[in-house]
Amino acid sequence: MNTIPFGPRNPPDDPLLAKAAELPKDVAPTHDLWPGIAARLGEAEKPAARPFRWPLALAAGVLVASVSALLTWSLVRAPEGPVPSTQVAKTTPEPVPTEPVPTDIVPVKYGPNSGLSAKDFGARDELLRQFRGRFASLKPETRAAIAKNLAIMQTAADEIDAALAKDPASGMLKGMLVGTYKQELQLYSTVVTAGDGLTRRI
């Protein structure tokens, strides 16, 4: 089988991951880091920003990039030994309620073949906490679309996990898993930063 170990998602080829590799792994800055970052990035001169919003946007962006980079790295280094297929738990997507509430939002569960660690999930869950805080303020149809698509991602993650159980060395499947995970994080991040006047800067 022809394996393709991540191709364009390797840090040298992926601008997002390349930038992420240069970023600190901490999520919540304890003081105003942005002026220094902006100076390094050559940002335009700006009037004094409101103090309460940018840390949220920055933290969300950093989290997405950092977790993606960590995930890619961890999968690249993951041993390629076979994983018993009996560990695969086939799940059925939950029915999507018409107007989901924040507690209805269940993050995607990645199976035992995913290579994801508790650290990866911890970072994702922090972003999810912020996402839930914003979720209730969205239009009902948007909430329904988000819940539906998280269920689609769950189905995809289950299918990839089952396929990885059969072919644990497949770079193609690992690449798809990374892609699904990135999509999930980007979904949370887009909602967390929406309407803040500061989009993700990464």
| Strand ranges in 33-165 using DSSP code E only, listed in sequence order | none
Stretch that binds other proteins, among 64-72, 74-82, 84-92, 157-165 (CB under 8 A): 157-165
Q: How far is the CB of 193 from other proteins (least distance, A)?
A: 7
CA distance 25 to 45: 27
100 near other proteins, judged by CB under 8 A: no
Label residue 127 exposed, middle or buried (CB < 10 Å: 0-12, 13-18, 19+): buried
In 3D space, the residue among 34, 113, 124 whose CA is nearest the CA of residue 78 turns out to be: 113
Stretch that binds other proteins, among 60-68, 70-78, 84-92, 137-145 (CB under 8 A): 137-145
If the CB atoms of residues 48 and 118 are measured against other proteins, the closer one turns out to be 48
Stretch that binds other proteins, among 63-71, 81-89, 116-124, 180-188 (CB under 8 A): 180-188
Look up residue 158 and give its two tokens: 């289950």
Applying CB under 8 A, among 23, 105, 152, 169 the residue interacting with other proteins is: 152
- Whether the CB-CB separation of 67 and 120 falls below 8 Å is answered with yes
CA distance 112 to 138: 33
CA distance 101 to 149: 15
Letters for 43-82 (x = contact with other proteins by CB under 8 A, - = none) are: xxxxx-x---------------------------------
Secondary structure class of 95 (helix, strand, coil): coil
2 near other proteins, judged by CB under 8 A: yes
Residues that bind other proteins (CB under 8 A): 1-2, 4, 7-8, 43-47, 49, 137-142, 145-146, 148-149, 152-153, 155-156, 159-160, 163, 166-167, 170, 172-173, 175-176, 179-180, 182-183, 186-187, 190-191, 193-200
